[in-house]
Structure 1
Amino acid sequence: MGTGKRGLIAAAVTVVCAVTVLAAPGTAFADPGPTPPPAATPSPAATAPDKDLEAVRDKLDKLYRAAAVATDEYNAAEEEARRQSAELAELARKIAEGQEELNRLKNRAGAAARAQYRTGGLPDEAKLVLSDDPRQFLDGTGRVLQGQRATKGLIAETNRAQQDLKTYAADASARWKGLEANRKAKEAAQKEIEKQIAAAEKLESELEREERERLERLEREAAQRAQTAWLGSGVLKGAAGEASGQGGKAVEFATAQVGKPYQWGAEGPGAYDCSGLTSQAWASAGLAIPRTSQQQWKQLRHVDVGDMRPGDLIIYFPDASHVGMYVGDGKVVHAPRPGRAITVAGAGSMPILGVVRPDAT
């Protein structure tokens, strides 16, 4: 337990229980009766002021936010690695095809060389000059021209095939280096995620049960205050947009996941992180969107908060590290953080960066 909590415990147990009575000789005393039980020592949780728990809550928020940022980095690296792996597979296919083509061209060149050897090694031009038959001479002229064109074409095709192979090999090397860089980025992000979550879990584990309950109550109260202030600002006044066909399907999918756990990097079906939930919800509606909340913010069309309709995505915090799906009536479905389940919450319970619409035309 931290120094602050030990101080609270010390302050809570400063109770004086001894009473000294000085009596004059011969003075009579009444029977004091049974000794009253000592006053119960208040538990540390009962004495910890809310302001200290608010500091704990603030620290937890920062730790889980840092984990969320690292999760976005992990997801982005994973998504890029998938893309590069697919490109590598396509390049490997092209290299194999290019090698087959080059082998075919080499076989053609070899066949031509063998044919020339069987005819005495004389080139077509020499045989043409030695011909005594005018008709054969004319026919031979056409064959020579055709042969020259075919030879040039063969050489050009061979050079092109060789150049293609060099290009594919260079591209494959670059993609491989990128893939390796993304693997290292994923590992670094994973370590950061695990570090931040471990620190948060350690901090929570040091709290007494009563403190954890009060901490959760403070979280709920803070979220409710933020939601009330957000709605009170009139931001949704007059907003009554209906979900599109795809948006309705996305909302149906997302709300069906309520109660499933948050898990960083997860895209279902048993668990999700915040952007895993929103991207899979829209995938179920037939529309592929970026995997991470930051890319969703960058790539999807922005709309005004007052023009939101169910299915739109609300991006939270200045670094776009969290996302939820608007479901109407001022509420959002989202995967909050490690240790929490997918839930429906007030859309204004967190700082809103903006709103994006996946199916904007």
Structure 2
Amino acid sequence: MSGKLLRLVCTVAVAAGAGVVLVLPPAAAAPGPEPGGRTVTQQLTDLQRLYREAEKATETYNATAEKLTKQRTEVARLDLELARARRSLHDSRVAAGRLARQQYQGSTEISAYVRLLLARNPQQALDEGHVIGQLARERAETVGRLTENEKKADGLARAARKALDGQLSLAERQKKDRDDVQARLEDVEKLLVSLTPEQLAALAELEKKGTDEAQRQLMASGVLSSERRPSRKGDRALKYAVRQIGKPYKWGAQGPKSYDCSGLTSQAWGRAGTPIPRTSQEQWAQLPRIPLKKLRPGDLVIYFPEATHVAMYLGEGMMIQAPRTGENVKVSPIASYPILGAVRPDQRPRRL
């Protein structure tokens, strides 16, 4: 597979107040048809689509993997609680067995009432009666604990079985998601190996022109004209991300040797003391959103309508990202892909 994996920015949608700014690369720069009948623009469009499909499949895999991790934790917790409940049940059954033997062995004893009538010392008999009553209550409590522990153990056993079934189902889904990612990447590789070096060079040039024009229009719009300083945690997250520059992209990876896009951002903010969701889609769905005109270093920029890519804003119109298979963590123009919006992991919730 070529080490240069390509993506064209066709449009960049930027939320600026109530409006939307569309940034379009120049259509006139597209080369003419290749001998095979497809233009470089069409080839690049195909490649972009395949990369987006692979990235979407990767984020689906990541989401399933995160759910599976949580489910395994829940299974382990329930197993531990079930083991404790079974030990308590065993102790309750031992106590209940001892109670049954005591009742059987003492079945011919004179009742406490008769003992009181025949006693030479009524007070002593009353004291003994109090003890007998206490023993009766303890026996009732023993039976109650046995019944309660049996119910608890049965309930936990059912919950543990259900959790285990869920884990097995997620594990099967994870395998299917993994196979889907592999299939998408194989499609990318097939397209790349079918291209000549000249075609690859033309694709790279077309991509660069599109990105440069999109970046020029975005910066000229003034949306990012006001630079801001990062927060303390944002600065720590940014410094972590900068230290990862040059490390390879690997789908499903969260470091320390390689990353995918959301693996980089989630690890950076986690190291800064603010854990965030694992996937770009959940980062977009759960983290506080901010307008691009308020963007500051350390904030996260989300890309594509499906929120399938994420990068960290560096400042001055640049971002740090883990792009895709075959590339390394690097600094890129913020307009390299269609922008969906931005989020700030350490944004304080508004007071009502």
What TM-score does the superposition give when structure 2 sets the normalisation length?
A: 0.84
8 Å CA contact retained: 1:128, 1:140:
no
Structure 1 counterpart of 2:209? 221
What is the 5 A alignment of 1:98-109?
Answer: 98-109=85-96
Q: Which moved more, 1:141-150 or 1:243-252?
A: 141-150
Instruction: Measure the CA separation in 1 of the matches of 2:39 and 2:78.
Output: 58
Structure 2 counterpart of 1:171? 159
Structure 2 counterpart of 1:121? 107
SS of equivalent to 1:91: helix
Which of the pair has more CA radius of gyration?
1
Structure 1 counterpart of 2:20? none
Aligned with residue 336 of structure 1, among 284, 306, 323: 323
SS of equivalent to 1:250: helix
The reply on whether 1:158 has 2:143 as its aligned counterpart is no
Instruction: Measure the CA separation in 1 of the matches of 2:137 and 2:199.
Output: 88
Aligned with residue 251 of structure 1, among 235, 238, 245: 238
Instruction: Measure the CA separation in 2 of the matches of 1:240 and 1:122.
Output: 93
Structure 2 counterpart of 1:34? none
Letter in 2 for 1:102: L
Instruction: Measure the CA separation in 2 of the matches of 1:246 and 1:122.
Output: 77
8 Å CA contact retained: 2:261, 2:311:
yes
Structure 2 counterpart of 1:200? 188
Instruction: Measure the CA separation in 2 of the matches of 1:268 and 1:343.
Output: 15
Structure 1 counterpart of 2:135? 147
8 Å CA contact retained: 1:279, 1:290:
yes
The Cα offsets for residues 62-92 of structure 1, whole Å up to 9 and x where unpaired, read as 1110111111111111111110101111111
Tell me how many residue pairs correspond in the alignment. 314
Letter in 2 for 1:48: E
Instruction: Measure the CA separation in 2 of the matches of 1:69 and 1:326.
Output: 21
The Cα offsets for residues 200-246 of structure 1, whole Å up to 9 and x where unpaired, read as 11101111112112211211221111111211221113x22211111
The Cα offsets for residues 228-280 of structure 1, whole Å up to 9 and x where unpaired, read as 1211221113x222111111111111111111111110111111100000011
SS of equivalent to 2:223: coil
Of all paired residues, the percent bearing the same amino acid is 37
SS of equivalent to 1:253: helix
**Unpaired segments of 5 or more residues in structure 1?**
1-44
Letter in 2 for 1:314: V
Q: Shift of the alpha carbon at 1:300? A: 0.8
Instruction: Measure the CA separation in 1 of the matches of 2:301 and 2:316.
Output: 14
Instruction: Measure the CA separation in 1 of the matches of 2:80 and 2:224.
Output: 53
Aligned with residue 265 of structure 2, among 278, 298, 305: 278
Structure 2 counterpart of 1:83? 70
Instruction: Measure the CA separation in 2 of the matches of 1:285 and 1:302.
Output: 19
Letter in 1 for 2:65: E
8 Å CA contact retained: 2:280, 2:307:
yes
Q: 1 or 2 for the larger relative contact order (CA 8 Å, sep ≥6)?
A: 2
SS of equivalent to 2:289: strand
8 Å CA contact retained: 1:254, 1:277:
yes
Q: Which moved more, 1:67-76 or 1:220-229?
A: 220-229
Q: Which moved more, 1:103-112 or 1:130-139?
A: 130-139
8 Å CA contact retained: 1:116, 1:122:
no
Question: Cα RMSD (Å) of the superposition?
Answer: 2.0
8 Å CA contact retained: 2:75, 2:163:
yes
Q: Which moved more, 1:159-168 or 1:276-285?
A: 159-168
8 Å CA contact retained: 1:128, 1:137:
no
What TM-score does the superposition give when structure 1 sets the normalisation length?
A: 0.82
Instruction: Measure the CA separation in 2 of the matches of 1:155 and 1:306.
Output: 68
Instruction: Measure the CA separation in 1 of the matches of 2:213 and 2:173.
Output: 38
What is the 5 A alignment of 1:1-361?
Answer: 48=34, 52-118=39-105, 120-122=106-108, 126-131=111-116, 132-133=118-119, 134-237=122-225, 239-361=226-348
Instruction: Measure the CA separation in 1 of the matches of 2:108 and 2:57.
Output: 72
8 Å CA contact retained: 2:33, 2:39:
no
Q: Shift of the alpha carbon at 1:47? A: 7.7
Q: Shift of the alpha carbon at 1:332? A: 0.8
Instruction: Measure the CA separation in 1 of the matches of 2:280 and 2:94.
Output: 54
Letter in 2 for 1:112: L
Instruction: Measure the CA separation in 2 of the matches of 1:255 and 1:122.
Output: 85
Letter in 2 for 1:173: R
